[in-house]
Chains A and B, each alone.
Chain A
Amino acid sequence: MAQAKKDSHYISAKESRRIAAENRKITRAFEKKKARRNVNESEYLTKMADDGNIVEFDNLHTYFYTDVGTVKAVDGITFSIPEGSIVGVVGESGCGKSVTSLSLMQLVQGPAGQIASGSIRFKASDGKVYDVAKMPTAAMNKIRGKEMAMIFQEPMTSLNPVFKIGQQLDEVMLLHTPGATKEQAKARSIEMLGLVGISDGERIYNQFPHELSGGMRQRVMIAMALECNPRLIVADEPTTALDVTIQAQILDLLRDIKTKINGSIMLITHDLGVIAEMADYVVVMYAGRVIEQGTAKEIFDHPMHPYTIGLQKSKPMVNQSVERLYSIPGAVPNPVDLPNYCYFRDRCDRRCPACNGDYPEIRTVAGTHRVACHLYEPEDKGGAK
């Protein structure tokens, strides 16, 4: 793929057609597998590695088979979400954080986007552990929205403009609760609107999305996510499109909700401030891989990976002033043909000879703190170099 003229990322039409044909073969097989009906449960039931977790990503690969080559949007990530905690995933655009969450919900845009390998283990409320990566769509539909729910970035575009708020909220309940009546659904919807701080739920219930402000729409999205008492909420940039004052309201609400439903939240954002405020655990991603993970304290007090350090230094802060902002030189590498050395090497200011070698394995440096960088030796070999 794209080997002929690697430097210019140029692909001839003939080459592109060949790749497209190949991709069709691959993606068709994936789609067929997902579309099967009446699959025996045993095929996708599995066991958790650690029973205290609600979600475990295990060496997950999500690829996009495009006509210019395979984009490895998520390239072997491993992390877990402990029950009752908020895990923040942070990274720049294109680092694969959204694709990770979409993989978990099995909402990656097919047929080009496919979970190529790895597993995502999810523990449902009845104690069963599902491997989302292997689940057929029909089975997935039963737990998506019920056991895990998602809050999307753009409240403006993720609500259907032609249906009233009420109809969209009721749908969740009617789909997932067998035997639920419309009256029950309505009562539940209005209750949920109250829970997210909308005082006149009755009125909002009969309104259309365009009649609401951005903050209100995001509240409706959250209400929709809460409809079936999910155990896990995936919030993909829930406040990016909102003003700071509204952002503060929504973050406050999310924290509240977490204690009320006693669930876990996977929070995806590019804003380090939001992460610091909300998350118990932080996962830093870069070009489709996890480069550093640990508790919020570890990541913010002792960042180790040069990228994490650079990211923190490059953010201007309200409570301190610097003469000149630190900026990470260069840009994220092209995701179609990533190098076989550390993806951050060309932008890194702490390069060492080892960096010319293979991509660094992620290693545990202290307790829960793990980092993928040659500068640090694994814990058992004794601290940093």
Chain B
Amino acid sequence: MSEFDYGLPFVEEPDDIIVLKHLTKHFPIKTNLFGKVLVSVKAVNDVSIKVKKGTTLGVVGESGCGKTTMGRTMLRLYDVTSGEIIYKGLDLSRLSTQELRKLLPKEEKFAALRANGGREELLEALAVTGVNINDVPRSAMRKLRPDLQIIFQDPYSSLSPRLTIGSIISEAVEEHHIVPKNEVREYVLKIMKECGLQPYYYDRYPHEFSGGQRQRICIARALALNPKIVICDEPVSALDVSIQAQIINLLKDLQEQRGITYVFISHDLSVVKHISTDVAVMYLGSLMEKAPTDAIFDKPLHPYTKALLSAVPVPDPNVKMNRIILEGDIPSPANPPAGCKFHTRCRECMEVCKSVEPNLVEYEPEHFVACHLYQKETNDVPQTPTEKNG
């Protein structure tokens, strides 16, 4: 695809565990008689992000900005429209040699290896290149699932009401042969204890628990498989403040103990600030800004990030925020505005914003932003909104 000809805004490094390259996901909503897509919801548009091992990437944005779709696409719960999702450090030893061959990147230099490489060589090569999860055949995908887990937003609907807590957690453990069959119960009890669940909950049903406890069950279910990457899709939004703190602390503790990488999707900026090492701000399917947490909160660059931050109510009546109130609503993702997607609500909108979509550039080290205010060379002064460059 020609629009993806330009390279990534960053350089891949060996300790990256997730690399998204121009990830795009469109949902068709209208097709013609022959199945050609006429209108589609552009849920995720050309998102490129990398995540280091053992860190937490916070993804924030308003509802409808595509953050959940991105999370689900990353788990291949949806197939991508285009782009690549590369994971490194997955446990590939569960796959057969045949399957490993198929996973090698389709580049010239791997041709020989693909033809007659041994299992060990294949594993070695794949550890460096990573696995594009879209190349994985369905059958092999199942074997990789334990490494990629998700915690859903609503603990009330994501637990089967007909299974006991024990069977909810042990179901996948047995399926993936994490431990020998006769040790499953013991193992599940150990995981439950780690997640702050009492052993006598084992034979109880989900309806007997409060929201916070259910969320712990969801976490236990995900962790029982020893995942490398956990996508947390708004895990605390449905919970009360005091319970939220318990769950956030639990997630942080588990990360320290097990070195899990989180992708933490949330609309609550204060929660994201607390748990994340890096933050990505999304708007209408596009990545607007990505930087280490402190940089985003201390020195936001993108006008949208600034507005988003200023809109968060601070629990202190003495602090009078200088609030930027955005006009209007988020436009429809089926028909996003041309140029920069935020220009319809942006205070600093220039002529160029209405026609040209800004690229994601590294404005400061590790601080990526997609805005025409920051498109020039790093050492240049950003353009003021009065300077129209139409």
Contacts and interface: CB of A to CB of B under 8 A. Distances in A.
Given A249-B326, A321-B273, A324-B252, A297 B317 contact: yes
A216 to B, nearest CB: 7
A249 to B, nearest CB: 6
A312 B241 CA distance: 9
Contacts of A93: 211, 240
B162 to A, nearest CB: 21
B242 interface: yes
Interface stretch (A136-144, A164-172, A238-246, A373-381): A238-246
A314 interface: yes
A211 to B, nearest CB: 12
A130 B187 CA distance: 62
Contacts of B309: 318
A321 B314 CA distance: 13
Interface string B228-268: 00000000000011111110110010000000000000010
B319 interface: yes
B267 A317 contact: no
A364 to B, nearest CB: 21
Contacts of B318: 297, 300-301
Contact of B241 (A247, A248, A272, A331): A272
B273 A248 contact: no
Interface residues of B, number: 42
B307 to A, nearest CB: 6
Contacts of A272: 241, 315
Interface stretch (A118-126, A274-282, A350-358): A274-282
Nearest to B297: A318
A331 B210 contact: yes
Contact of B313 (A243, A249, A276, A321): A276
B338 interface: no
B242 A327 contact: yes
| Size category of the binding interface on chain A | 35 or more
Contact of B314 (A216, A276, A327, A331): A276
Contacts of A317: 270, 314-315
Nearest to B329: A213
Interface string A236-271: 000000011111110110000000000000000011
A36 interface: no
A311 B317 contact: no
Interface in B300-352: 307-319, 321, 323, 325-326, 329-330
Given A215-B329, A316-B273, A316-B274, A310 B312 contact: no
Contacts of A243: 62-63, 267, 330
A326 interface: yes
18 contacts: A92-B240, A216-B329, A244-B269, A246-B329, A247-B313, A252-B323, A252-B325, A272-B315, A273-B312, A273-B315, A274-B313, A311-B241, A314-B242, A316-B245, A318-B309, A319-B314, A325-B248, A327-B246
Interface of A: 92-93, 213-216, 243-249, 251-252, 270-277, 296-297, 300-301, 310-312, 314-319, 321-322, 324-329, 331
Q: Which 7 A-B pairs have the closest CB atoms?
A: A273-B313, A327-B245, A314-B245, A272-B315, A316-B274, A248-B311, A243-B62
